[in-house]
Amino acid sequence: MTPSPHERAAALRRQINAHSHRYFVLHDPIITDAEFDALFQELQALEAAHPELRTADSPTWRIGSDLAEGFAKARHAAPILSLANAFSAEDLADWETRNKRIAPEASWAYVVEPKFDGLTIVLRYEAGVLVQACTRGNGTKGDVVTANARTIQSIPLRIPVSGDQESPPLLVVRGEILFTKEAFARLNEARREAGEPIYANARNTAAGSLKQKDARKTAERALSAYCYDVVHSEGLSIDTRMAQRALLESLGFAVPPEVTRCEDLAAVQARLAWWEAQRPQLPYEIDGIVIKVDNLALERSLGIAGKDPRGMVAYKYQSEEATTRLLKVVSQVGRTGRVTPTAHLAPVFVGGVTVTHATLHNYDLVATMDLRLGDLVRLKRSGDVIPYIIGPVSSARTGEEQAVTPPSVCPASGDPLVREADTVDLLCPNTTCPERIFRSVTFFASRGGMNIDGLGPRTLRLLIDTGLVSDEGDLFTLTAEDLLPLEGIGEKKTALLLDAIRAAKDRPLAQTITALGIPGLGETMARAITKAVSSVSGLAAIAQQVRDAATSAAQQIPPLEDTFTELLLKSITSADPAGRAVRLTTSEYTDFDAPLHEAVQPCFARALEAIRPLVQIDGVGPSLVGAILAWFSDARNTAMLEKMQAAGLRLEEAPPAASSASLEGRSFVITGTLPTFSRKDARAFIEQHGGRVTGAVSSKTSFLVAGKGGGSKRAKAAALGIPVLDESALRALADDSGS
């Protein structure tokens, strides 16, 4: 008998939620992505036809919707408390002594959990359905973020996720929202590739991602949630923390991993040492360890001190934050002319290193934080992230502190700085600013760029000051006669440097393109671009065609002179499933009369055709295309390329000579140390045989090539059932797949 739409929708919801749980919480999927997608699409279609079937626990909420939620406030079912801190073994002993005075005869077993560095979420389930999610707020009332929380895959939409257990009539749980280290790194990688500024702090980014007006934005961020407390419930009787955790886990929540029960404080101390050692390898950031009395009746009888329940304590890693003095703020000019403030600090030991400098990103931020010279500032260093300043300790001010004034002229060239509309950055507009030249040639010659040995900062400054080098192209026409008269540069150094420069003429094209320093264009993208457009002149030609199209369009509609490229970039859409087909929607320039708009349509069509090879590359979006067009439209850059061309640099590449196509259509991830191949060699080998190499293991990965080490990728591959090859198996596969 065919089920009714109602029954079918219910069955689909159940299956999909159970499969998501297996994938995102248990990391143990039992169906393929394609099978999952098919179920999901079936449910979407059913709900589209019968909107009344879209219940609160429908997994289709996971993708978010643009129905902006204005963040109403809601009162919590019980106060959302905080935790007292402990920083040492003595603090912990004091804590226990104080407690034992209150409850002398109790049994004192503890539960030891990781303290996630994220933000609190409070989830309310009525009759098993997630009906509300709130932030902590002031502890009494929080912001309602239900639509956003529903997009987080490890938050169950209905409990129990599977099995035939009864759901309690009411359950309010507390958990932590965070980015795993990998998800955060991937987000930043994507931003880097797109030329967007990277995020320094995972916790703040998680908070920002959760509080998006448009839940679809939250859905794009791969947030995770771990649940560690029952705030309020009806129909449950649980005696211990351990039992509570087991219950949450069985209902389908992701719970803190590696939680242990310790009989006494000595055992707790041993466990703290274990966590400390694990910390660098953990997939998530922790800022401490939470120690809770296991017995919940005991916890209740201990009561609350202020806002902190006495029955638990946060053992915090102290070294992460420090206070120090802000000595001065120095402006630095970057290779693109951006002028950024750097904080010079009184040396302070934090997170295992001595910190003397921190970037302040931009002067707006300095103003927002109200930083003043001489301030005592709070500094944070988390994981391997660069240290940053949290803010001033305003209460420690003496009145002697001085305001930080943004510079009005470039510290290197003296030119008045400009600020482009809609940006927070100050720019030195002088393309011949010696500091800009220094930075951009340094980047060009660096290891990640053309790898020119022997061009140290002192030599380079000399070359710039004497006018021998005014851009990267000038390096290639330097002669012994130029170098020998310079102070401190003898015959030997001259010969070495000239050799190194000569060698750099023959770098692979992708390496050269990366070295040019086009904003947002990293090595991976450069490689993909060289495949699509096999020469630098090809890229220049694309930019020229777009400029020509803009010129003809501006003859019809003069304002297009300035806005043509912007409109063109806006029309790049990734929504088209057929593979980023470029199109222009009229809504983007409704300012123009219809007939005029028709007249410029062919110009847009031509320009779209010109950029198509770029747009079709996976991962190339509007901002990167814009950066490439802008770079190749700058006369200084084209002049520089002419110098390089004249000097005989390799600026084109024969389309890749696939030595066979035996690996075509297969996607590989490389991890660990291989016996003879370097990572680069392995990648080249796979690509020569027509295969693709990506950075992260996903269900689309065909093989993981693994050497020594490579733990997390191996585990992921195992979880997804992806075959693992060693180096010789890879060679064998490349050899016989062809025949």
Active site residues: 115
Q: How far is the CB of 253 from ligand IVH (least distance, A)?
A: 13
Question: 207 vs 348, which CB is nearer to ligand IVH?
Answer: 207
Residue 706: which H helix or E strand, with range?
strand 703-706
Told to check if 176 binds ligand IVH by CB under 6 A, we report: yes
Q: How far is the CB of 174 from ligand IVH (least distance, A)?
A: 6
Q: How far is the CB of 90 from ligand IVH (least distance, A)?
A: 20
- Facing residues of 343 across strands? 329, 358
Told to check if 309 binds ligand IVH by CB under 6 A, we report: yes
φ, ψ of residue 288 in degrees (nearest 5): 165, -165
Question: 251 vs 644, which CB is nearer to ligand IVH?
Answer: 251
Window of 114-122, 235-243, 538-546, 616-624 that interacts with ligand IVH by CB under 6 A: 114-122
The whole-angstrom separation of Cα 140 and Cα 75 is 6
Question: 309 vs 337, which CB is nearer to ligand IVH?
Answer: 309
Name the one residue in this structure whose structure tokens are 């009888």: 301
Kindly state the greatest CA–CA separation across the chain. 94
Q: How far is the CB of 96 from ligand IVH (least distance, A)?
A: 18
Told to check if 290 binds ligand IVH by CB under 6 A, we report: yes
Told to check if 686 binds ligand IVH by CB under 6 A, we report: no
Cβ neighbors of 511 (< 8 A, separation 6 or more) are 449, 450, 451, 523, 526
Name which position in 36, 95, 184, 228 contacts ligand IVH (CB under 6 A). Answer: 228
Q: How far is the CB of 120 from ligand IVH (least distance, A)?
A: 4
Told to check if 224 binds ligand IVH by CB under 6 A, we report: no
Question: 83 vs 302, which CB is nearer to ligand IVH?
Answer: 83
Name the one residue in this structure whose structure tokens are 């242990």: 260
According to DSSP, residue 106 is labeled: -
Told to check if 439 binds ligand IVH by CB under 6 A, we report: no
Q: How far is the CB of 228 from ligand IVH (least distance, A)?
A: 4
**How is residue 28 written in tokens?**
């143990």
Tell me which residues in 242-271 interact with ligand IVH (CB under 6 A): 256
Contact 205, 183 (CB under 8 A): no
Q: How far is the CB of 316 from ligand IVH (least distance, A)?
A: 8
The whole-angstrom separation of Cα 597 and Cα 577 is 27
Window of 79-87, 420-428, 567-575, 599-607 that interacts with ligand IVH by CB under 6 A: 79-87
Contact 262, 268 (CB under 8 A): yes
Name which position in 115, 181, 527, 716 contacts ligand IVH (CB under 6 A). Answer: 115
For the four alpha carbons of 207, 208, 211 and 217, in that order, the dihedral sign comes to negative
Q: Of 156, 116, 103, which is closest to residue 133 (Cα–Cα)? A: 156
Q: Of 183, 248, 182, which is closest to residue 209 (Cα–Cα)? A: 183
Residue 204: which H helix or E strand, with range?
helix 202-210
Question: 292 vs 381, which CB is nearer to ligand IVH?
Answer: 292
Q: How far is the CB of 95 from ligand IVH (least distance, A)?
A: 14
Q: How far is the CB of 219 from ligand IVH (least distance, A)?
A: 23
Told to check if 120 binds ligand IVH by CB under 6 A, we report: yes
Question: 83 vs 533, which CB is nearer to ligand IVH?
Answer: 83
The whole-angstrom separation of Cα 666 and Cα 702 is 6
703-706 and 724-725 beta bridge pairing:
parallel
Told to check if 82 binds ligand IVH by CB under 6 A, we report: yes
Residue 358: which H helix or E strand, with range?
strand 353-359
Told to check if 113 binds ligand IVH by CB under 6 A, we report: yes
Question: 256 vs 351, which CB is nearer to ligand IVH?
Answer: 256
Q: How far is the CB of 554 from ligand IVH (least distance, A)?
A: 55
Question: 254 vs 670, which CB is nearer to ligand IVH?
Answer: 254
User: Total binding residues for ligand IVH by CB under 6 A?
Assistant: 14
Alpha helices in 593-725 (DSSP H): 594-615, 622-632, 635-646, 679-688, 711-720
Told to check if 314 binds ligand IVH by CB under 6 A, we report: yes
Q: Of 121, 287, 77, which is closest to residue 211 (Cα–Cα)? A: 121
Q: Of 211, 208, 202, which is closest to residue 148 (Cα–Cα)? A: 211
Told to check if 83 binds ligand IVH by CB under 6 A, we report: yes
Question: 309 vs 710, which CB is nearer to ligand IVH?
Answer: 309
**E strands, 49-154, where?**
73-75, 84-86, 110-116, 119-126, 129-135, 141-143
- Facing residues of 385 across strands? none
Told to check if 81 binds ligand IVH by CB under 6 A, we report: yes
Window of 110-118, 201-209, 426-434, 587-595 that interacts with ligand IVH by CB under 6 A: 110-118
Question: 83 vs 509, which CB is nearer to ligand IVH?
Answer: 83
Other beta carbons less than 10 A from residue 522's beta carbon: 15
Name the one residue in this structure whose structure tokens are 């220094």: 438
Told to check if 241 binds ligand IVH by CB under 6 A, we report: no
Cβ neighbors of 192 (< 8 A, separation 6 or more) are 198, 520, 522
- Facing residues of 668 across strands? 693, 703
Told to check if 625 binds ligand IVH by CB under 6 A, we report: no
The site string for ligand IVH over 39-78 (x = CB under 6 A, - otherwise) reads ----------------------------------------
Name which position in 57, 96, 229, 435 contacts ligand IVH (CB under 6 A). Answer: 229
Cβ neighbors of 662 (< 8 A, separation 6 or more) are 689, 690, 733, 734, 735, 736, 737, 738
| Contacts with ligand IVH, residue ranges (CB under 6 A) | 81-83, 113, 115-116, 120, 176, 228-229, 256, 290, 309, 314
